[in-house]
Amino acid sequence: MKKCAVCGLVNLDSAESCSCGYNFKTSTADQPPPRVPTTSGTNAKLASGRRHLWRYVLGAAGFAVVLGSGRAGLTLEVFVLMLLLMSITGVFRIARQQEGSPLLVALFRPKRLDAPRRGTFVIKRVVPTLTGLGLLTLVLAVGGAGAPAGPAGHIIYVEGSSQKICQLTGEIDRQFHKPTVNRTASRFGMVGADLGYSFEHHGKLFFIFGDAQPTPTFHGKPNGPADPPRMRDDNDAIAFTTDTVPGECPRLEFIRNSIGAYKNPVVLNAQGQPAITLATNETPLSGISENVKMYVIFMTDNPIHFPKPPEPLGYSTRSVVGVSEDDGNTWHYLYDFSKGPGAKFVNVAIGRGEDGYLRLPRFDGG
């Protein structure tokens, strides 16, 4: 046995030259004879490489679903990245099989042609394994997520993701048929309410309710929609709580009128007269606190003022900003928020900016 002085390969004593081209007789390195792949062999290898394409695509999709955590933008980016990486791997594989580009071949060709090729194990074993795992994760992510699939852009309810804590208003819970925590009919003269919005102010959580329905009487006194001190043009309500325990039904206290029942908020002008109507589908919409003041957006100007079902109830066409400096007992008109035939900001919510400033723009005519 004799060892090659160039590549270190051990050869038989009868060998005249090493496979790397080193000539034992002349002690010089010659070029090895070129390897000429057959057409049939090359085509077979190319066909084999193409058969792996689906693994790359499905594997990339699987990794994208898992790493993207269901976020469409991130999932797409991960998919493109994984597909690109796997595609590059596939290009190198085809290049090796075709004996094509010298650069690509050089990256994979070993020093000895009869030695196992570097990367063969990775190409034929590791990559298919990873892509198979990617496919499995894709199946698990799609089939075992616990949420039904739906059209793109649609909100889908996940069973059990939200739970009822309690019924805030009314005397009897409509689901459990037992008295509610707040028993608003007997305590505040309110059968129930429609819309609702909450915000914090001075250590209390305020609730502004729209289209509240009064009981006929309260503590023996008339309490109908037009019975003083109520006015037919105003039928909303404001409540608050100091409870801070999550998961427990908050105990409400309502701002009260002169007979002790819940009070309808009235937005007054500079002369102390009602500046807007707050009848059917005209309600306090959203609110925010700033120092000692409460700012609330009210929507108003429903063209169908007193609808009678089953007639259409109509809708508000204008929003205004009202302010209170006494914790919601009295309200004063500040300005129109959005109005006119092209009003686009009637149903809105307000909040504080990231810089801490409270900005209330106006959209006259828009």
| pLDDT tens column, 236-278 | 999 999 999 988 999 999 999 999 999 999 999 999 999 999 9
Rounded to two decimals, the pTM is 0.58
Note the maximum CA span of the chain.
125
Distance in angstroms (rounded) separating the CA atoms of residues 185 and 36? 95
- Nearest-5° angle of CA 257, CA 253, CA 269? 45
Distance in angstroms (rounded) separating the CA atoms of residues 47 and 44? 5
The pLDDT value given to residue 272: 95
The pLDDT value given to residue 144: 47
Burial 107-123 (b: 16+ CB within 10 A, else e): ebeeebeeeeeebeeeb
The residue written with tokens 């707050």 in the block is 278
Distance in angstroms (rounded) separating the CA atoms of residues 79 and 65? 8
- What HEC string does the chain produce? CEECCCCCCEECCCCCECCCCEECCCCEECCCCCCCCCHHHHHHHHHHHHHCHHHHHHHHHHHHHHHHCCCHHHHHHHHHHHHHHHHHHHHHHHHHHHCCCHHHHHHHCCCCCCCCCCCHHHHHHHHHHHHHHHHHHHHHHHHCCCCCCCCCCCCCCCCCCCCCCCCCCCCECCCCCCECCCCHHHHHCEEECCCEEEEEECCEEEEEECCCEECCEECCEECCCCCCCCCCCECCEEEEECCCCCCCCCCCEECECCCCCECCCCEECCCCCECCCECCCCCEEEEEEECCEEEEEEEECCCCCCCCCCCCCCCCCEEEEEEECCCCCCEEEEEEEECCCCCCCCCCCCCCCCCCCCCCCCECCC
CA distances from 224 to 135, 169, 232, 252 (A): 66, 18, 9, 22
| pLDDT tens column, 310-360 | 889 999 999 999 999 999 999 999 999 999 888 889 988 888 878 877 666
The pLDDT value given to residue 135: 53
The pLDDT value given to residue 328: 96
Distance in angstroms (rounded) separating the CA atoms of residues 210 and 235? 7
Give the residues of the chain that fall short of pLDDT 70: 30-152, 358-366
The pLDDT value given to residue 61: 63
The pLDDT value given to residue 111: 43
The burial of 66, by beta-carbon neighbours within 10 Å (0-12 exposed, 13-18 middle, 19 or more buried), is given as middle
**Would strands 293-300 and 284-290 be described as parallel, antiparallel, or unpaired?**
antiparallel
> Cα(first)–Cα(last) distance of the chain, in Å?
95
Distance in angstroms (rounded) separating the CA atoms of residues 212 and 190? 7
Distance in angstroms (rounded) separating the CA atoms of residues 63 and 75? 9
The pLDDT value given to residue 355: 80
- Nearest-5° angle of CA 101, CA 104, CA 105? 80
The pLDDT value given to residue 105: 40
The pLDDT value given to residue 254: 98
The residue written with tokens 């004063």 in the block is 332
